[in-house]
Structure formats: structure tokens, C-alpha cells
Structure 1
């Protein structure tokens, strides 16, 4: 039985091209080296002594740059190709991180964070397009999942190493490591993966695709984006309001909060790829799976209303983790499947922008609710109000998923990729 399960797990990693494995390695190195971001607010507050308001403003510039970079990356991937965009983005942002440590003024950091994130986040839609190019139709979702595993492993390793670097060298060391890993990752890609040239085509040559005149006229895609943005808002609570709640309601240490987040990462590492393989083998509808994910995340928010037992945090994390495994890999795959040939970049740009928007909105929205209701009715009531609000947002997300499902099954050509 155990041997069978192990064989199924190993088999779920088979069938990828060499290019996909190199992309995965590159992503792991890049994400493991992304040490500045987890400590950015601490660096701005504790090292540069900015006020909370100034830190918030710099983070808004960070988010705005991320959104613009995502859009530009997708647009330019369609125009000049994903390969050049990926190389330009990682190499240039690597150099930019070296320089960033020497900028310490408020205005300077607002401008530089905005510019760096434009360059850095041009990479994301280009990378999604590259997966579409180097993975075949049958294993595209699994390829996306493989890269997500690399991202999760990288993020698990990065902050721990970042903490050691700060203790021994200082914050300056983070910028050197972050910049160096960006450059190392893209050198590995450039030396081992050759550019895949675009073939000449018109949309009529691809009758299996869902064709739209413009991304802006693709109604199911935009409703789906709203669903994804909400799931993103719920998920990012894990890194904003929930760690604070752990401390204030249950007096958990940073280590205990870290263990809960580690459980999330380990479950994803061991279970996400088999789940994706199962869904692909059974040819289950991806929008329905995403909707189940939205419902699981919604349940995780409502579970937080139980505040007399610390064990509920483990149960909540299980629901959030399964919600993440159902929602995120299949969201990527569905978004890619909506794009006509030659327009993948702009679709994936707008898709990645929805998560940039969720990242900005999640922290601001959650903190504002907690502060407003906390001042009015007591601090912990503020958290309860936030969980209720997030839970109802999640219900809206699930309803949007059902709407998209009904729209897509009525389409003359069913999505199959």
C-alpha cells in the first residue's frame, strides 16, 4: 500500500521535458534567494527608522510596480518573446538589488521600489508563457504545479537563511544574496535552454482553442479573475493578520507560527502534485476544482471565529492548505487555456496582476477592519469582524466560480487544456 502510494507520487513527476526541469531549478534558486521581501518591512522600520505610514506608502509603491511590471511582461512576451523578457528581467533586477541597499531616503525608496518591481515582475507572466511553450498540452498543469513546488521550497528555505544573514552580516547582505541569485538563476536558464521561436499562425488554424477578439471581451475570464483575486485576498491573510492574531489571541511564539506555516509548505510539497495528476487523469473540470478551493478557504476563515481552543489553528491551516492546492495550480492552467495562440502573454499578465492586487488589498483591508472594529468594540472583536468579512468574501468567490463553470460548459468548444 505504502509502496503503491510512493510509486504514484514518483510517477506524478515523470514526463517533463529537460527545459521544464531547468525552469524549475531556476525558479527554486531565484525564490530561495528572495530574502529581501520577507524582511522588507522590518528593514524599513528597524534599520531605516521610517514611520508605519511611510512603510505603508513604500509597500504601495512596491505593489503598484508589481502590477505594472506584470502587465508589461505579458504584453512584451507577445511582442518580442518570453525568452528575452525573462533574461532582461532577472539580470537587470539582480543588478538593481545590489544598488538598492545604498538608497535610504523615503522618496528615493518609493521611486526605486516602484521601478525595481516593474522590472522584477515582468518575469512572472513571461515564465508562465514559457511553461506553455516547453510543456505539452497534457502535462501543462503538472508543469505549473512543479514550478509552484519549487517556489514553495524556495520560500521555505529563503527566510531562514535570510534571518541568519541579518544576524551575522546585517540587512546589506540580503541585497547582495538576492541580486546574486537572480543573476545565477537566469545564467543557468540562458546556458541550458534555447529560445523557442514563434511559429507563424492565425487563430483559425487552432480550432481547439477558445478564441476571443480581445482579452477584454472574454467575459468568463474576467469573472474568473474576480474569483482568483478574492482567493488571493484570503490566502494572503496568512502573512498579514493571522500571525498577529496568533500572538494576541493565543500567545503563540514566532516559532509556533512558523511551524504552522511549515505544515502548509510540507503538505503542498507531498500532496499537490498527486492531486493535480489525479485531476488530469480523471479529466475533471478545473473551474469546479478552483471553486472547491474557494469554499475550503472560506471555511478556514469562519473556523477562526472559534477562539477558545488553539488547536483550531491547525484545523484552519488544513482547510487553507487544501484550498490553496485546489485553487492555485488550476487557476493558472485555466487562465492559460483561455488565451488564443499568440496572446498568452497578455492573458497571463492580467492573471498575475490579479494576485498583485490581492496582495495590496489583503493587508490594507484586513488591518483597517481590525483597527476600526477594534477601537469600537475591543481589539479581539476587530479580528472576529475581519474573519466574518473574509468568510463572506469567500462565499462570493465560490459563487463567481459556479457562474464561470456554467458559462464555460455552454461554450461551443469546451476547454480541455
Structure 2
């Protein structure tokens, strides 16, 4: 008696299959680049310890970097549409490598300021081009999974890079700059050799950011993204300060609790990205934003390392839900010839939040303590979630 058996797809095939080879080259390059990302987390320590700058001078240097990053996303978005995704991505990586070494060997304050401003311009210039590449290469139904896998590679590489960076910094800060520069060059070479150019024809790529800003739905979504970014940016701005200075946790206790964030993302996010990608993106993103908001609001009640860990688990769950969804929405909203610019505006919201979040957080801490800070941050998350639900019908029609 003949019988036929239907082979069920394996877990790895369902999670990793169906994506084109150039995407995996981009994924591998992103992972290598993030493995070498060691300079930025230790920049403040480098400026004060290795270069002897005061806290005020170091703050000025970081502000200059923030100013460069604000311009970066808009400029890189235009370049991705005009000169191409591959050229913008590879060029940005090579420029980042050069500026890493320039910063590492700068000894005077003017030279450090100039290096940091240009580094702010180029260090994340790859993001609009990378987002546009995924939209060009991957079918709409697979985009949430693809963007989620890139998010996973960034977090995995960053976690390992942070650990290695702390060890290398003890040997000498120059090691951080060289490793980061080599990682950037490796990413550029991989992109140039393994990823085709996907930019639409030049005649289709005309127009400026005015065309993006006239898309009211994209502008509204960018404001939602800004709310999301303001919430998330507290994790590396005011959260460490609040937990160590006001709650009384040691840096070791705080670091141990925060390690949960990376561990959960690395383990859980690949398991759920395919399933989340099949859900309605607007409702899914709204759910993730709401969970993040609740998690940060609960931080008001933290008194011990255990309860900090509980709140981190909550808002990390929201972060995992949102991973990949926002990029897929941008790709859905953008015409093919403007994907770089749309991604640039999306990235601008994150750069703006990196500048605004510490200002907002420190002011709220001084004005009303932790309750004022975390309930406000949680409220921003919930308002962003409601706004996302309101945009849902228009996104589905688009």
C-alpha cells in the first residue's frame, strides 16, 4: 500500500528559510559590525580617563556627536536613493572606520570635537540604506521576519562586543578603535562583494524630503516612533543613573539585571519573529509599545535588584514584540524610489530621541523624582500605543 508523507518544515527552515542570499550577506555584515562596536559604549570613559577631559567637556563632545547624528539619517536617506544602497552602506562603513581611528589618535579638544561630529554623521549612515535594501530584496510578507533577524544580529553582536570591549579597554583604549575600524571595513567589503545594487532607476529617484513630509501618514508614524524612541532611550540614559544614584543599587547589580535584556532578546526573539510577522503590524506594534510603557512605569516601584529584573523582563517583552515591525511599516508606506528617504526620516526620530531623552529624563528626575520620570515615560509609551492603533486603518489601506 503506497502512502505519501508530508514533510513538515523544520524550525530552522521556518525561521531562517525563504530569504534571499544578499539578505544573509547584509545580516552577516551587520553581525560582524556589531561584534566590533566597542567604542561608543566607552566613549565617556575614554574622554575623561584617556584624554583627561572634564565632565563638562566630555558632555560637550557627546552633544556634538548628537548634532552630527541628527543630520546623518536625513543625509544618508537621500544618498541611498541618489547614489545607491550599496554605495551608501559601504561608503558609510569606510568613513566610520577612518573616523574611529581619527578619534582614537586625536589629542586636542578641537580635534576631538571635529572627529566626534563627523563620526556622528557617518557611524549610523548605513541604517537608511540597510532598511531600504531589506525592503528592495524581501517580499512584504517576509519583511517583519527579516527586520527582526537584523534586530537580533545587532543585539547579539552588541552584547558580545560590550563584553569584549570592557576587557580590551583594560589593555588600552587604542584596541577598541582598531577593532571597531576593522569591523567596519569588513562590513564594507562584504557589502560590496556580495550585495547587488537595488536602487530604482535614476529617473524615478528624483525629489527631496518634501515628498516624504507631504505624506501625512508617514509623518504621523514618525511621531509615534519618536515616542517609542524616547521611552527606549531611557535604558541607556537615565535608568542607570536613577538605579545607582537614587535607588541605591551598585553598578554590578544594575549590570546583572540589564544582562537579562540581551539574554532574552537573543533567546526569545528568533523564536517568535516568524509568528509576529504574520499578525497585523499596526496592532502588533501598538501592543509592544503598551507593554514597554507598562514596564517602564513599574520602574517607579523598584527597590531591589530582583524587582528591577522583573521590570526589565516586562519592557524587554514589549521590545521583542516591536522588533522588525516598525521597519516593515516604513517599507509598506514608502514608494520604492523613496525608501532611503523614508528610512532616513524614521532614523531621524531615533537620533532626535537620543538627544532629547537625557534632557527630558534628567529634568523629570530633578523636578519630581523617580515617580515623575517613570510614570511620564510609561505614559508616553501608552499614548504612542493608542496613536499607533489610530493609524492602523490608514496603514492597512496603504
Question: Higher mean Cα deviation, 151-160 or 188-197?
Answer: 188-197
| Matched-pair contact (CA < 8 Å) for 1:9–1:273 | no
Find 1:58's aligned residue among 56, 61, 67.
Answer: 61
| Matched-pair contact (CA < 8 Å) for 1:302–1:387 | yes
Find 2:111's aligned residue among 108, 113, 118.
Answer: 108
Give the Cα–Cα distance (whole angstroms) in 1 for the partners of residues 14 and 386 of structure 2: 35
- Aligned partner of 1:231 in structure 2 is 228
Question: Higher mean Cα deviation, 304-313 or 113-122?
Answer: 304-313
Measure how far apart 1:176 and its partner are: 1.2
Give the Cα–Cα distance (whole angstroms) in 1 for the partners of residues 108 and 346 of structure 2: 33
Pair 1:305 & 2:292 matched: no
CA deviations over 1:240-262 (Å, ceiling 9, x no partner): 22222332355433333233222
Measure how far apart 1:305 and its partner are: 1.8
Measure how far apart 1:24 and its partner are: 0.9
Q: Give the CA RMSD over aligned residues.
A: 2.3
Alignment of 1:206-355 (within 5 A): 214-281=211-278, 284-355=279-350
Give the Cα–Cα distance (whole angstroms) in 2 for the partners of residues 286 and 27 of structure 1: 24
Give the Cα–Cα distance (whole angstroms) in 2 for the partners of residues 197 and 361 of structure 1: 33
Measure how far apart 1:327 and its partner are: 2.4
CA distance 1:180–1:406, change in 2 (3 Å): same
Measure how far apart 1:309 and its partner are: 4.7
- Aligned partner of 1:405 in structure 2 is 392
Give the Cα–Cα distance (whole angstroms) in 1 for the partners of residues 312 and 378 of structure 2: 15
- Aligned pair count reads 388
| Matched-pair contact (CA < 8 Å) for 1:303–1:312 | no
Q: Which runs of 4+ in 1 moved over 6 A?
A: 200-203
Measure how far apart 1:85 and its partner are: 0.8
- Aligned partner of 2:87 in structure 1 is 84
Pair 1:166 & 2:169 matched: yes
- Aligned partner of 1:195 in structure 2 is 197
CA distance 1:70–1:213, change in 2 (3 Å): closer
Measure how far apart 1:7 and its partner are: 4.5
CA deviations over 1:348-397 (Å, ceiling 9, x no partner): 00001100111111122212222344xxxxxxxx2222112212222321
| Matched-pair contact (CA < 8 Å) for 2:89–2:191 | no
User: SS state of the match for residue 311, structure 1?
Assistant: helix
Give the Cα–Cα distance (whole angstroms) in 1 for the partners of residues 268 and 87 of structure 2: 34
User: SS state of the match for residue 105, structure 2?
Assistant: coil
- Aligned partner of 1:48 in structure 2 is 51
CA deviations over 1:49-100 (Å, ceiling 9, x no partner): 3232222221121111112111111101111111111111111221221121
Give the Cα–Cα distance (whole angstroms) in 1 for the partners of residues 90 and 248 of structure 2: 45
Measure how far apart 1:199 and its partner are: 5.0
What residue ranges of structure 2 are gaps of 5+ in the alignment? 1-8
| Matched-pair contact (CA < 8 Å) for 2:38–2:180 | yes
Measure how far apart 1:28 and its partner are: 0.8
| Matched-pair contact (CA < 8 Å) for 2:51–2:107 | yes
| Matched-pair contact (CA < 8 Å) for 1:301–1:388 | yes
CA deviations over 1:109-134 (Å, ceiling 9, x no partner): 22221112212222110111111222
CA distance 1:200–1:104, change in 2 (3 Å): closer
What residue ranges of structure 1 are gaps of 5+ in the alignment? 1-5, 204-211, 374-381
User: SS state of the match for residue 194, structure 1?
Assistant: coil
